[in-house]
Structure 1
Amino acid sequence: MPFISTKTNVTVSKEKETLIKERLGEAISIIPGKSENWLMLAIEGGVPMYFRGDDSQPTAFIEVKIYGGASSDTYAKVTKELTGIYGDILGIAPDHIYICYFGTEDWGWNGSNF
């Protein structure tokens, strides 16, 4: 049950959104037991964002939320993959991307919790 939320100041066309969706669908499998079959995404482009007091550079804030958790080594691999995805598709430099990971044992779906 992963959820990846992206906020970026880059305008995201439908074509780029589709590419991001496809690449994130592959990347989520780095986390053991996770797959695109349960992946939910939110991609917000064109968001006013400042980094280091400047809004002139492509910037992104990404949240990865999962049912359960993963090791720091796994999250490091995901970070490397995600920074590559956003760099390739949106031209965002790795030093202008923050990624936060959240794991929880309390996750609801279909009227009940797992």
Structure 2
Amino acid sequence: MPYIRLSVAKKIHPDDEQKLVDGLGVALSKIPGKEPQWTMVEVSDGLKMYFGGKRQDDMVFADVKYVGRFPYQKKKEFTREAFNVINAILGTPKDKICLTITEYDNWGAVGDFHDQYYSD
């Protein structure tokens, strides 16, 4: 169950927010086994964001978490597509977008604990 948290400096129109969520779900599908219908997205907009000590009116930080370990090239394809989606929908310049990826081996979902390498 991938989880994407978006922190956005400017306010987002609800229609654009849905396009953003949908577009990031599709972008994440560049990584094998990561499908839009299982992706959770949290959007926080209208935030006070600073970079280099200066207030930014148009900046986005995307924190992406999912189970599994994937090759560099797949993560790079996803990252480029995520930047394209954010830029196309919000108009945020790519030099004002940051993204992190955290990969996990285990998770809890559907009322139980799961591990990528171990099963009961």
TM-score by length of 1: 0.93
Give the equivalent residue in structure 2 for 1:99. Answer: 99
Count of paired positions: 114
User: Could you tell me how far 1:52 is from its partner in structure 2?
Assistant: 2.3
Partner SS for 2:5: strand
User: Could you tell me how far 1:75 is from its partner in structure 2?
Assistant: 1.1
Cα deviations across residues 34-71 of structure 1 (Å, max 9, x unaligned)? 10121100011101001122224410110110111211
The answer to whether the 8 Å contact 2:9/2:56 transfers is no
Give the equivalent residue in structure 2 for 1:61. Answer: 61
Larger Rg belongs to:
2
Q: Which amino acid aligns with 1:77?
A: E
Q: Distance in 1 between matches of 2:83 and 2:55?
A: 19
RMSD: 1.1
The answer to whether the 8 Å contact 2:7/2:60 transfers is yes
Instruction: Give the structure with the higher percent strand.
Output: 2
Q: Could you list the runs of 5+ residues in structure 1 that have no partner in the other structure?
A: none
The answer to whether the 8 Å contact 2:48/2:56 transfers is no
The answer to whether the 8 Å contact 1:49/1:55 transfers is yes
Q: Distance in 1 between matches of 2:52 and 2:86?
A: 19
Give the equivalent residue in structure 1 for 2:118. Answer: none
Q: Distance in 2 between matches of 1:93 and 1:102?
A: 24
User: Could you tell me how far 1:24 is from its partner in structure 2?
Assistant: 1.3
Give the equivalent residue in structure 1 for 2:117. Answer: none
Give the equivalent residue in structure 2 for 1:86. Answer: 86
The answer to whether the 8 Å contact 2:64/2:101 transfers is yes
Q: Could you list the runs of 5+ residues in structure 2 that have no partner in the other structure?
A: 115-120
Partner SS for 1:30: coil
Give the equivalent residue in structure 2 for 1:39. Answer: 39
The answer to whether the 8 Å contact 1:69/1:102 transfers is no
